[in-house]
């Protein structure tokens, strides 16, 4: 029984060449073996390529419509399909050069997403851990001793001096940015300090207060971008994602991770 190439592409027999190309591109994206790991993806992709090869050529389409190509049934091997795809890429590149009148010197081979899947997964997991460190940093603090307020300036900045415990541990100055001037301790007052687990964000507590007041440093935008890094890394680590999607997720999570580092250095 011969194949119905129109049915394979999901188009009618009156479809234009543009309809054929559009249908092929849409279905090829879904069934390409580099993007679809299902068992029948390669066979479906071969059928799509056969259908496109026959129907996109006016001569072979006319012969197919007249029944001249029905017997024997046309079947392409996977090697022939790959060669067709290579020729299509060359034709597109030639067409692009002719349209723009410029031939670039560099020629890049297509990205092998399957070969880079393991690397992409590792990057996504690393970025997830990096983002998770900010989540822990927001909730986990360590004791930083006590300090005396020695200066108040710009209304929301508190400068404290922590006494040294020994000659080898000299005093050090700590500046804390407070969101509300009403929360700032009084000059000369001793406050208890603590700092976050990873990035040293300080909080303080006055003798009159029962809770710690957190500094507004680093800026809240860091936590927002860290959340985006975590989401991108988590999605990229999912087994339901295709190799290409994991590769792109690694790029996105790394990009937002660089933004987080930049904000952290500037804060």
The candidate with the shortest Cα–Cα distance to 147, out of 217, 216, 205, is 205
The pLDDT, as a whole number, for residue 91 is 67
pLDDT interval class at 102 (50, 70, 90) = very low
For residues 41-45, give the mean pLDDT: 80
For 71, 124, 133, 231, the CA distances from 238, given in Å and listed in that order, are 46, 10, 20, 11
By the 8 A CB rule, do 217 and 177 touch? yes
Comparing 87 with 229, which gets the higher pLDDT?
A: 229
Q: Is 180 helix (H, G, I), strand (E, B) or coil?
A: coil
Q: Give the C-alpha separation, 162 to 170, whole Å.
A: 9
**Least confident segment among 25-34, 99-108, 223-232, 243-252:** 99-108
pLDDT interval class at 101 (50, 70, 90) = very low
To the nearest whole percent, how much of the chain has pLDDT over 70? Answer: 79
The pLDDT, as a whole number, for residue 201 is 80
Q: Where are the alpha helices (DSSP H) in 75-209?
A: 78-100, 117-139
Provide the sign of the torsion angle of the four alpha carbons 11, 13, 14, 19, taken in this order. Answer: positive
Q: Where are the domains of the chain?
A: 5-100, 117-134+221-266, 141-218
Written out in words, the top-level CATH class of the domain with range 5-100 is: mainly alpha
- CA dihedral in degrees (65, 66, 70, 72; nearest 10)? -140
The pLDDT, as a whole number, for residue 254 is 92
Comparing 128 with 200, which gets the higher pLDDT?
A: 128
Does the pLDDT at position 97 exceed 60? no
Written out in words, the top-level CATH class of the domain with range 141-218 is: mainly beta
Under 8 Å CB-to-CB from 110, ≥6 apart: which residues?
89
For residues 145-158, give the mean pLDDT: 74
- The backbone torsions φ and ψ at residue 38, rounded to the nearest 5 degrees and listed phi first, read -70, 160
Comparing 192 with 97, which gets the higher pLDDT?
A: 192
203-238 pLDDT per residue, tens: 888 888 888 887 766 677 888 888 899 999 888 888
Averaged confidence pLDDT in the chain: 78
Q: Give the C-alpha separation, 134 to 166, whole Å.
A: 33
Q: Give the C-alpha separation, 46 to 23, whole Å.
A: 15
């Amino acid at each position: 029984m011969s194949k119905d190439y129109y049915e394979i592409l999901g188009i009618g027999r009156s479809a234009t060449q543009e309809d054929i190309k559009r249908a092929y591109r849409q279905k090829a994206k879904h069934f390409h073996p580099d993007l679809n790991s299902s068992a029948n993806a390669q066979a479906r992709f071969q059928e799509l390529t056969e259908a496109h090869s026959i129907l996109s050529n006016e001569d072979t389409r006319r012969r197919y419509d007249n029944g001249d190509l029905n017997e024997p049934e046309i079947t392409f091997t996977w090697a022939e399909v790959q060669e067709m795809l290579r020729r299509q890429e060359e034709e597109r590149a030639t067409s692009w050069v002719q349209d723009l009148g410029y031939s670039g010197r560099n020629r890049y081979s297509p990205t092998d997403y399957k070969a880079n899947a393991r690397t992409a997964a590792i990057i996504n997991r690393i970025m997830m851990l990096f983002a998770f460190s900010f989540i822990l940093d927001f909730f986990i603090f360590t004791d930083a001793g006590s300090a005396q307020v020695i200066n108040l300036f710009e209304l929301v900045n508190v400068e404290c001096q922590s006494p040294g415990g020994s000659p080898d541990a000299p005093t050090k100055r700590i500046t804390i940015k407070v969101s509300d001037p009403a929360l700032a301790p009084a000059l000369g007052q001793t406050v208890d300090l603590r700092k976050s687990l990873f990035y040293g964000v300080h909080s303080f507590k006055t003798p009159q207060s029962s809770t710690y007041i957190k500094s507004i440093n680093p800026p809240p935008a860091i936590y927002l971008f860290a959340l985006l890094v975590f989401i991108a890394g988590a999605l990229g680590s999912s087994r339901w994602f295709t190799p290409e999607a994991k590769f792109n997720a690694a790029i996105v999570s790394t990009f937002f991770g660089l933004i987080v580092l930049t904000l952290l250095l500037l804060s």
